[in-house]
Every structure is written in structure tokens, then in C-alpha cells.
Structure 1
Amino acid sequence: MKIGIDKMAFATTDEYIDLRELARERGDEPDKYTIGIGQDRQAVVPPTQDIVTLGAAAAKKLLSKDDKKHLSTVIVATESGIDNSKASAIYIKHLLGLDDFTRAVELKEACYSATAGIQFAKGLVAMNPQSTVLVIAADIARYGLKTPGEVTQGAGAVAMLISADPHILTLEDTTVSYTKDVMDFWRPLYATEANVDGKYSTNVYVDFFLQCWQRYQQMTGRQLDDFAALTFHLPFTKMGKKALEALLKDNQSPVADKMREQLTASQKYCREVGNLYTGSLYLGVMSLLQNGQVNPGDRIGLFSYGSGAEGEFYSGILQPHFEKYLSDVKDDLANRHQVSIAEYEKQFNSQLGMNQDDVELDWQSDPALFILKGQKEHKRIYQEKK
């Protein structure tokens, strides 16, 4: 039975900053951000948006009435949870008007958990091939203003429908997971911004990729030329390049050159949005499929990584007419508007966060379909704009 990704859709906020302006404001050379880190723009999050509104917006784009009839489960993968007990998936399930006979759960393991969600979804569909599973990777990456990690912030959500006989990518059976207890990145319960050892985390990421790739090769016998492209978790786009070059080294063959070109295509959207944590790999996949040189029947490799740390390498085969089942990311990004660094800083400091007070936000000015109106009696209040 073929099982895999049937549809994919992306959502982010309608505001961004230009990282060249941020660099100048912080006293840095713009090339440090655009070349050294590999980022051009970064999504700005108004206080009326969070992982629930972004996740619901992405899912709304792909779910038809017929899809809803077959949906058994909603899985939200995030490290930006809005409650220590109640799953964000339940809020999203309600906003989407899904049947009450729907399972809804939230998964966490840093940036990796969307991949776990896809693998779990594959098992659920295998047990009941008539059902589908909605996997949503939604996150808001925060490191703090004027911190070393500020340039690698971002926000957005990727929604994926997992089904039998998928239209985008059939998942192959062999998958390699690799897990070790590593303190390269973490966020204690009392913190709204993450702690990160950036250089160490990059080294761990590269090592985990090589470990997973070598194990995958041992298990399958496949070589680099068996793939049309390799895609990577891209918290910042230079990270994927470091991993690929650690594999290719001085290889200048046509296959190696093709892998580098395909990586550039997969980085395009992430350069414009920033870090999506759990969604970064899958926005990279969408970017490859809409900007790279790929065809039905091609094998795509996917490397997922979550600090702490866990990595996984797996693969899939592109299906006929896959391009028809992706939302138009290029159009979404073109319709955003730029805000000043001062406005970005104001919005960064206006997030609901861990505030225990009743708060009413200025939600009328937010043009998004789903909005966070505020908080009352310790309960977040969401609404779909009609």
C-alpha cells in the first residue's frame, strides 16, 4: 500500500522585516545575515497570531469538505505550545469545524516532531486506509531582541494531509532515527525565549545527518545518484549547506553539482520567512517542489533534526501532478508588507506570552482569517473572521 503526503499548504503572517535593515540597526554588516546566515527576510508576529491561528490558516487551505469526512486525527507538532496540558490541536480542530469524532494531539521534540507526526500518521493510515491524518507543523521561533539568535527567528505553519495513494510524495519504508541527550538548545518552562549554543548545535546537526545518511546507505545500498535532491531542516539556510557540504566535501561531479542546485531551490522560501522550527524542513520541501528541477518518479531525501537531540533521514517518491496539490507559497510571500525595525520590536514585546492577566488585543486590525482576541479568566479566545 502506498502511503504518504497527499497535500501541503503553508501559512505565515502578513508582515516581515528586511534583515539588511536589522543588520544596520544592530551595527552589523548586512552580508553577515544574508550570506553568513543565509537569510533575507523574517516574519513578524503580531500579538493576535500564534501557533493555533497559523496552524488553522495553513490547514484551511488544503482541507476540502470530502477531506474532512475521512479525517481521523489531527496532530500538531510544535515547540511553541500555548498550554502545558491542553493540546493546541484541539483549538485548531474547533476552528476548522471538524467532526467531534476526531482524535487531536500535540507532539514535542524541538524541531523534529513534525517528522514523528508523519511517521505516526503513516501507521494510522496503514491500520485504516480509508482514513486520513492532518499533520500541522506550527511554530514561532524566539530568541530575544539584540541576541545572537535574533537573526534566526521566524514564524509559520505547514499543514500536510497523510493518506493512502497520496498525490505528492509516497513515503518509502526505510527510515533511520538517531537520538542522543545533547544540550545544544532548550527552553525551560519559565522562559519565552530559547537557550542555544549555536556553534555546538550546528556541529551536532551535521554529525547527526552524517550518522543517519551512512546508516540509511547501509540498510538500502542506495547512493547519492539514486536521489533527485536532498532536503534539510533549515532553521537558517546556511545550516543545510553545511550539512550537504560535509557529505560532498570536494566532490565536483555532475551529481554533486545537482545536489547543490537543488539545495538552493529548497532554501528559497525559508530565506524569506525565517525559522519555522518544526515546519522548516517541510517548507524547504515545498520550496524544492515549486522552484527546483524535479519530476514524478524522482526520489527525494528528507533530513529532519530537533535539538536535544534527534535526527531522522527518510525518503519518498514524487507522484504524478504533485505540483497541483501544493498551496501557492510564492503568492503568499508576495502579498506581505514590510514593517520597520521599531514596529517589529514593539510587536515582539507585545506577545501574550506567560501573562496571567485578562488581555483584550486589537484584533480588528489583523486581516488574518483566524485571530487570537486575547485572554479572559486564563483562557485564550480565538475567532474565525467571517
Structure 2
Amino acid sequence: VDALHNCIDFVRLNPTQKAIVIASDIAKYDLESTGEYTQGAGAVALLVSADPRIISFENHWAVSTKGVFDFFKPYRTLAKKDILNIAANEPWFGNLESHIEIHKDQPVFDGQYSNTVYTDRTREAYHTFKKLTGTTGSLYSTWESIVMHLPYAFQGRRMFAELFSLDAETPLLTGNEEDYQLRLREISKGDDYKAFVNQKLQPAEAASSLIGNLYTGSIFMGLLSALVVNADKGTDLTGKKIGFLAYGSGSKSKVFEGTLQAGWKEAAHNSRLFENLVQSTEIDFDTYSKLHKKEQDYSVKASLNEWILDTIETELPNLIGARYYKWVE
């Protein structure tokens, strides 16, 4: 989202130019961890121009950020003597240091704490955006659809119940009730909130439930999903607003909104999003486990019309680790 923000600023200053935002990521968790079922990978690209045909963005952006120890990927260290089982600090694969740093793709996290900071940041950014735009009444009522960062498909609907309650046209809660959490749970299970979810949140969840977590690409895949689902329903969204609640662990939320343009429905149909997802290749658990543990080093699908990693330099001293790619027809 920050890249999108930067590109929009660039195009605003250079209206004859265009910019491309590419969000590509992989969400990998330890086997048998609580985050394993949310894993996902993918990429989404957006073309930004001064004359958009899908969605336009106003120059209103609200941010809430706080440095917390949540969901990060620290370097782990191992003493070389424990690896080699000797006291002396002998060279080991070119490493002269007494401790070896190890990087893992899998993050350190606490699921409940992650939910808490996610809710805190999105709530703060939401209210800041409401104040920034001078919105009176319910902000979310002005949005035809809502796209949230989705580390798993139903994260948004579970977290948005609080904003649904606090920012209703007639607020359902003030936040000061002694039984606040109990009443919030009751509201989240009520028919009114379920209807709200089905109308405004579910369209953006559809693709996430099939793909998993895309980290940086989540909010953009949510947008594409919402557009395709609404296009298939025949919903007329031209001129309507979509609200975005982006989030990144650490923790930071950015809230903004966009207005759909006349070409959104054609672009949604042309994406063939769900038709492409149906063509995914199913693998068995043994293959999944081997891929996860990097015991299998070849793809389950033959490469076609894409860039692939060809080789990694292991011999030339000045190029150790250099990665070489090639295009496969």
C-alpha cells in the first residue's frame, strides 16, 4: 500500500507518466503451528495512471503505527561449538565468527496478540480517516464494499465488529461498558452484523479463502475479489466508494478510499480470477511436507511462460550467492 501511495503521488506530479505496483509475497509458517493453515503465496500487479478506468483515489490517507514485538523474523544464532561439537572456533564454510546467524521465513508470533494490535491499529486509523475527511455519521455506511488486510479469510469480519458497533449511525456501543466484550460478541453474532458482512466484507474474502495469506498482496487481491464477485452478481458499483483498511505487522494500518470508475466491471470479468484459481494443482500431504522442509527442490508443475530461478552461483568468490533467472516459454 505504501508503494501504491508513492506511485499515486508520482503520477499526480507527472500526469503523463504511469507507474506499476507489484505486490508479491509468500506466507510460510512452521509445520503444526497455529498459523500453518493460513499459508499462501502469490502476486498482484496494478497499473497507476492519471486517467484510471477501474478505481480512482482521493488524496486522503490515515495512518496509525506503533512499534511492537509482533510477527517478526529475527535472526537466530547458534554457537559454532554446538554445531561442530568442539571448543575451538574453527572456520566453517567460510564463517570465522563463533556464532552462526540463521534466517527463517517463518515468523515469531502470538496469534491473540496479533489480533489485538491489528484491531487497535485499524480502529485508530479508521477514526483518523473519518476526522480527516470530515465525515459525519457512519463512515463505513458511505462505503459500498470494504477491503481489509486478510491474513486469513475471516480475519476482517472478526475484527470489524468493533467498528460496526462504535461507528453505526446510532452507535451500538460506546466502548465504556463494563460488559463491553460480552456485548461485542453478541453483536458480532447478530443478524444485522451478518447481513453487513455478506454485503460489504464477504466479496473481498472469496479469493482469500482459496489462496491464503498474501501479506503485501492481500489488500489488492481483496480488491480484485470484491470487484469480480460484485460483477458476477450484476451489482452496479460505478461511482460508488470502496473503503480500504490495510495493515502490516509491527504494527501499522493505513486507511483510504477509492471511487469505482466506468470500466471496473469489464476489467473484473477480463481478470478471470476464479477461473484461474480453479486451475490450481492439488498436491498430497507428503509432497506438501517435502516442499515445506525443502526436501523436494523441483516444482510440482512444469514451468510455462514465466521466469524461473535457473542457478545460484557457488563457485566464483565475488559472485557467491548470485541468482540467475531465465524465461521459459
Q: Please indicate, yes or no, whether the TM-score normalized by the shorter chain is above 0.5.
A: yes
Look up the SS of the partner of 1:139 in the other structure.
strand
1:193 aligns with 2:112: no
Q: Residue 59 of structure 1 aligns with which residue?
A: none
Question: Alignment partner for residue 296 of structure 1, among 238, 255, 261?
Answer: 238
Instruction: With the length of structure 1 as denominator, give the TM-score of the two structures.
Output: 0.64
Contact 1:184 1:198 in 2 (8 A): no
Single out whichever of 232-241 and 222-231 deviates more from structure 2.
222-231
Q: Deviations over 1:155-195 (max 9, x none)?
A: 00010111101111100111101111011110124222111
Letter in 2 for 1:322: W
Contact 2:145 2:243 in 1 (8 A): yes
Q: Which runs of 5+ in 1 are unaligned?
A: 1-114, 353-359
Contact 1:224 1:255 in 2 (8 A): no
Contact 1:174 1:314 in 2 (8 A): yes
Contact 1:184 1:196 in 2 (8 A): yes
Instruction: With the length of structure 2 as denominator, give the TM-score of the two structures.
Output: 0.75
Question: Alignment partner for residue 202 of structure 2, among 264, 278, 285?
Answer: 264
Shift of 1:325: 2.6
Q: Residue 164 of structure 2 aligns with which residue?
A: 248
1:209 aligns with 2:128: no
Q: Deviations over 1:127-180 (max 9, x none)?
A: 211111111110011112122211111100010111101111100111101111
| Runs of 4+, deviation exceeding 4 Å | 251-256, 360-364
Look up the SS of the partner of 1:185 in the other structure.
coil
Letter in 2 for 1:169: I
1:370 aligns with 2:280: no
Contact 2:143 2:241 in 1 (8 A): yes
- The CA distance in 1 between the partners of 2:275 and 2:211, in whole Å, is 13
Look up the SS of the partner of 2:237 in the other structure.
coil
Contact 1:228 1:259 in 2 (8 A): no
- The CA distance in 2 between the partners of 1:351 and 1:322, in whole Å, is 43
Change (3 A) 1:235 1:140: same
- The CA distance in 1 between the partners of 2:299 and 2:121, in whole Å, is 44
**How do 1:1-386 residues align onto structure 2 when only pairs under 5 Å count?**
115-189=1-75, 190-222=103-135, 223-249=139-165, 250=187, 257-292=195-230, 293=235, 295-326=237-268, 327-350=271-294, 365-367=302-304, 369-377=306-314, 378-386=321-329
- The CA distance in 2 between the partners of 1:363 and 1:313, in whole Å, is 39
Change (3 A) 1:294 1:301: farther
- How many residues get paired? 265
Query: Higher relative contact order by CA 8 Å / sep ≥ 6: 1 or 2?
Result: 1
Look up the SS of the partner of 1:178 in the other structure.
strand
- The CA distance in 2 between the partners of 1:338 and 1:348, in whole Å, is 15
- The CA distance in 2 between the partners of 1:362 and 1:263, in whole Å, is 35
- The CA distance in 2 between the partners of 1:286 and 1:275, in whole Å, is 15
Q: Deviations over 1:209-239 (max 9, x none)?
A: 1111111112223332211011100010121
Look up the SS of the partner of 1:164 in the other structure.
coil
Shift of 1:368: 5.6
- The CA distance in 2 between the partners of 1:192 and 1:369, in whole Å, is 24
Change (3 A) 1:363 1:265: closer
- The CA distance in 1 between the partners of 2:252 and 2:277, in whole Å, is 30
Letter in 2 for 1:220: T
Letter in 1 for 2:310: K
Q: Percent identity?
A: 29
Contact 2:303 2:328 in 1 (8 A): no
- The CA distance in 2 between the partners of 1:364 and 1:148, in whole Å, is 28
Letter in 2 for 1:191: K
- The CA distance in 2 between the partners of 1:171 and 1:238, in whole Å, is 26
Contact 1:362 1:373 in 2 (8 A): no
Shift of 1:323: 2.4
Look up the SS of the partner of 1:174 in the other structure.
coil
Look up the SS of the partner of 2:41 in the other structure.
strand
Change (3 A) 1:238 1:351: farther
- The CA distance in 2 between the partners of 1:255 and 1:213, in whole Å, is 18
Shift of 1:384: 1.3
Contact 2:161 2:193 in 1 (8 A): no
Q: Which runs of 5+ in 2 are unaligned?
A: 76-102, 166-186, 315-320
